[in-house]
Structure 1
Amino acid sequence: MDYKRLLTQVERTLAQIEGSENRRLTIEQIAETIAGNFRDELGITGGRVYECDDDGNYVLVGRFGVSRGGPLGIIVPRDYRPIELVLENGVVVMDPTDPGVDPVLEQQLGARRFAAVAAGDENPHVIGFDVSPELSREDILFSLSLIRYAVNQRLRAERFESLIVEAQRIQQSILPQRVPQYAGFDIWGKTVPAEIVSGDFYDFIPITDSVLGLAIADGSGHGLPAALVVRDIYMGLRMATDRDFKIIRTMEKLNHIIHRGRLTTKFVSLFYGELETGGILIYTNAGHNYPFVLKKHKFEALANGGPVLGPTPDATYTRGFVKLDAGDLLCLYSDGIVEAHDRSDREFGLDRLKRLVKTNRDRSAKEIGAEVLYRVARWARRSEDDRTVVIVKAVP
């Protein structure tokens, strides 16, 4: 038998199954599909699905194919030798006469032979199969190993998809849904993720009628870990502003939160500032790309602060001040903007970003930000990193 070709066919067939949030239902669908589509190739006519209960024992929760037997709900002790072996080895084939097999229990379950696989990485389900009596033990083991591999690949793919969906949900829930209307300023921001889920984050936080919080952050990595650490930043900033923390204390608190976290993403750059209606911006910068203010005749980098959040629990931070006069423009950006590479491996670079912003300074904040994202996208040979830009323009 060409097991490689058969494995490909099984994987393609299982990929067509519509996933479910309930792992047991997915496993039952998988088992039914295998029995219905590969009966001749694998010698499988039906079987049973067992689920681990709160006591660690296994309960008969479903049947598939032409399986027969006693009522659902039969409990198989975890120390039943065939269960021990399938959990230990992933696959097992045992006959009624083998040591440790209880023929009476197997008859209740409707099994002539205990042929089973463990499905799932944590508290696995056990899928027992009714196999053709003509098959040798070696053929059965080959079939079971193939099935186990295909089933676990399908379950892991579904798990990954659910993590991505959860990460997207988290990110969509925390990114600003609208641009704030703030007297005397034209404001716009956007994140373009490199993958389905971004490690970048920006926020506008109304603190009072006369103070608006501005934040931009970049968590190392992508996917769910990055989304979770960004969520921690979002919640930490909101909590700090609700409690009227000063920005230095806010940054120190966030640093402790990230440092104590158990996620693989433990390095986060963050710029946070509080903009008053009069144009005064008080800020601190935790290792983020220096935002800049374009004034009438010069650029001013916002560099005061300290190291990135996470690595050092006792990191200290300083604050800085800048005044946005009418016509001045503040640009916040992530490293995906300035570190984008073209086909010749040249970076887009900070100087090019500054020239672009200066050239377009008379346009609206949205038009400037959109132009930056457009030019970077044209420059880059591919999307290697998340890209975020926030423009704050002091209007006359």
Structure 2
Amino acid sequence: MLEPKLFYRNLDALLAGIGKEKTGQDFLVNILMKLEDTFGKDLQISRGRIYEGVAGNFELIYPVIEKPEEAAGSSVGSAGDEASVGGEGSVGSEGSDGSEGNVDGEGSVGSEGNVDGNGEAISTNGTGLTNGTGSIDGTGSIDGTGSTNGTNHEGDSVAAYGEENGEGVAGADGSSDDVRGVGSGGSSVNGSGVSSGGGTGNGNRGASEKGNSGTGFAERISGDAPEIKLVLQSKLYIFDDPYVSTPFKAFTDEEYSAPAVLVVNSPDQKFLFVFELMSGWVREEIEFCLNAVRRSVNYRLFSEAVFGELQQAARIQQSLLPAAPLQIEGWEIATRYKPAELVGGDLYDYYKFDANEFGICFGDASGHGLPAALMVRDVVTGLRMGVQKHMKMIYTLKKLNEVIYKGSYSASFISLFFAEFENNGNLFYANGGHPSPLIFKKDSIVELQATGLIFGAFPDISIKGSFAHMEEGDLLLLYSDGIVERQSAEEEFFTIKEVIKLVREHQDLGASEIIDIIFEEADKFGGGAKWEDDATIMIIKREKQ
């Protein structure tokens, strides 16, 4: 299992990349490739492909299928055509295209299916046949006295491979004098013959309506297939039984693989991402990662159609976040928020209690844009309800996690820091996976480290409260990763060390002035370029009396 902090960091970077990726013809392919590059080795994800919904079915659009081209000195027999071979005999045209080559109970391969070494036709009626309803579409060719043969399997159609070298044919699995079709359960064989003196002949299997001769994947899957209905209903489905045949399984000889299929869609189109999970995959990691990607891709596909709604969402978000900091005797509080888009995923809020006591929350939703803004709405609203009802801090946070986890169209997770302050400088806090806030004391810095996991990743989380104390003159700094991950033209990060240095140099200034200095330096560090992620800083100073 991956180290959680590294996993979440890599996933957050991937989701941010999805938000920046240009939509267009290669958008989905680029996302699929980045997903494999980022998590392929660690999560055992491989052999990604994409299907597009077309006329009620799903057709393979990536990898692109390359049609065989004629090569010098050879002839190519496409599905349903003759496949001739130099030598003493040739395959007859009968039995091709499935019209006279049906395999059904006691049916037979076309009457001129095989040719012996002297050019005499050999009938194969009634022998070597399967009980399925599949059909043979094209056959391998023969050069010499041998014959092409295949192997029977239940439930799938299987390629028959033959190699001709003047002496005969080497069958794929076993040997026979008959051309044997296989296809129990309604599968089909769609093959081609290729010859060049000593060329090859093959017929590839297809667990769907049409097999693929170049990729090892089904080219087309019927929209009525029960597996399709299952995937569309669940949005993400893992076919984890290696003994059950499925049209999503690659036609390979891998020792083990389990297809994982997720649905992404635009306003008018559906796509399927399919991956092979190799031995060692972990369900929780796979489901969490792929669901996060699915939601982010869906957002990008829909976002261009709802730009006007984004503007409305920005106004709603601005109305949710505090317009001004709290005014609390003995304390100075300031916050500055810079979203990367119209709406963002950073959040903060203030809560006024009795007798000059107060509370704050500070968080960062994965990604940015509309999904992250929806998460901000849920969190801000949920926490305000909990505070107004005087619920205990930990109970409120656990209930909030349940709400976030059940959300259907929002970012996948959020880091959150919540604290309650007393007049005497005591603060009680819980940190759900957020970068550690820092208390700057006269000669030291205290980190308020995480006391639990991020919110929204699991239905139930373990989080506990902790305690800290601020003396008069102490300063508490909270920040989101958009600040420390600001990049220069040389792709170097601004880092928390730079922030700490700036705070130490200007600790005697007001909270708002310190924040302005940090933003100014970070902006210059990035060459004045557009901010790639939401950036927020909050500073709370306990004033000297």
Residue in structure 1 matched with residue 511 of structure 2 by the alignment? 365
**Superposed CA offset, 1:271-329 (max 9, x none):** 11011122111111111111100011000000142111001111111111111111100
Identity %: 38
Alignment of 1:190-209 (within 5 A): 190-209=336-355
Residue in structure 1 matched with residue 428 of structure 2 by the alignment? 282
CA distance in 2, matches of 1:363, 1:394: 13
Secondary structure (helix, strand or coil) at the match of 1:305 reads coil
Residues 324 and 394, structure 1, Cα contact 8 Å, conserved in 2: yes
The one of 352, 355, 358 equivalent to 1:212 is 358
**Superposed CA offset, 1:216-250 (max 9, x none):** 11111222221111011101110111111222112
What's the TM-score, normalizing by structure 1? 0.59
Residue in structure 1 matched with residue 446 of structure 2 by the alignment? 300
Secondary structure (helix, strand or coil) at the match of 2:351 reads strand
Residues 202 and 217, structure 1, Cα contact 8 Å, conserved in 2: yes
Residues 207 and 241, structure 1, Cα contact 8 Å, conserved in 2: no
Residue in structure 2 matched with residue 316 of structure 1 by the alignment? 462
Letter in 1 for 2:401: N
What's the TM-score, normalizing by structure 2? 0.43
| 1:379 and 2:525 aligned | yes
Letter in 2 for 1:361: Q
CA distance in 2, matches of 1:290, 1:158: 36
Letter in 2 for 1:388: T
**Superposed CA offset, 1:134-170 (max 9, x none):** xxxxxxxxxxxxxxxxxxxxxx888422221222022
Residues 170 and 228, structure 1, Cα contact 8 Å, conserved in 2: no
The one of 472, 479, 487 equivalent to 1:326 is 472
Residue in structure 1 matched with residue 142 of structure 2 by the alignment? none
Are residues 313 and 371 of structure 1, via their aligned partners in 2, closer, same or farther at CA, if it must alter by over 3 Å?
same
CA distance in 2, matches of 1:242, 1:368: 32
Residue in structure 2 matched with residue 395 of structure 1 by the alignment? 543
Residues 348 and 362, structure 2, Cα contact 8 Å, conserved in 1: yes
Q: Offset at 1:210?
A: 2.8
Are residues 190 and 157 of structure 1, via their aligned partners in 2, closer, same or farther at CA, if it must alter by over 3 Å?
closer
CA distance in 2, matches of 1:362, 1:157: 45
Letter in 1 for 2:355: D
Secondary structure (helix, strand or coil) at the match of 1:340 reads coil
Letter in 1 for 2:534: D
Identify the structure with bigger relative contact order (alpha carbons < 8 Å, sequence gap 6+).
Answer: 1
CA distance in 2, matches of 1:256, 1:157: 27
CA distance in 1, matches of 2:398, 2:328: 28
Are residues 157 and 250 of structure 1, via their aligned partners in 2, closer, same or farther at CA, if it must alter by over 3 Å?
closer
CA distance in 1, matches of 2:391, 2:267: 44
Q: Which runs of 5+ in 1 are unaligned?
A: 1-119, 123-155
Q: Alignment RMSD, CA only?
A: 1.8
Residue in structure 1 matched with residue 500 of structure 2 by the alignment? 354
Larger fraction in helix: 1
CA distance in 1, matches of 2:303, 2:520: 34
Residue in structure 1 matched with residue 367 of structure 2 by the alignment? 221
Are residues 343 and 280 of structure 1, via their aligned partners in 2, closer, same or farther at CA, if it must alter by over 3 Å?
same
Are residues 159 and 325 of structure 1, via their aligned partners in 2, closer, same or farther at CA, if it must alter by over 3 Å?
same
Once structures 1 and 2 are overlaid, which stretch shifts more, 222-231 or 352-361? 222-231
Q: Offset at 1:211?
A: 2.0
Q: Offset at 1:189?
A: 0.2
Residues 271 and 288, structure 1, Cα contact 8 Å, conserved in 2: yes
Letter in 2 for 1:385: D
Residue in structure 2 matched with residue 250 of structure 1 by the alignment? 396
Alignment of 1:1-396 (within 5 A): 159-381=305-527, 382=529, 383-396=531-544
Are residues 258 and 361 of structure 1, via their aligned partners in 2, closer, same or farther at CA, if it must alter by over 3 Å?
same
Secondary structure (helix, strand or coil) at the match of 1:163 reads helix
Are residues 157 and 188 of structure 1, via their aligned partners in 2, closer, same or farther at CA, if it must alter by over 3 Å?
closer
CA distance in 2, matches of 1:158, 1:380: 28
Secondary structure (helix, strand or coil) at the match of 2:391 reads coil
Q: Offset at 1:208?
A: 2.5
Secondary structure (helix, strand or coil) at the match of 2:316 reads helix
CA distance in 2, matches of 1:350, 1:319: 25
Q: Offset at 1:374?
A: 1.2
Q: Offset at 1:375?
A: 1.1
Secondary structure (helix, strand or coil) at the match of 2:467 reads strand
Are residues 208 and 378 of structure 1, via their aligned partners in 2, closer, same or farther at CA, if it must alter by over 3 Å?
same
CA distance in 1, matches of 2:478, 2:360: 9
CA distance in 2, matches of 1:180, 1:282: 18
How many pairs were matched up? Answer: 244
**Superposed CA offset, 1:41-63 (max 9, x none):** xxxxxxxxxxxxxxxxxxxxxxx
CA distance in 1, matches of 2:525, 2:320: 29
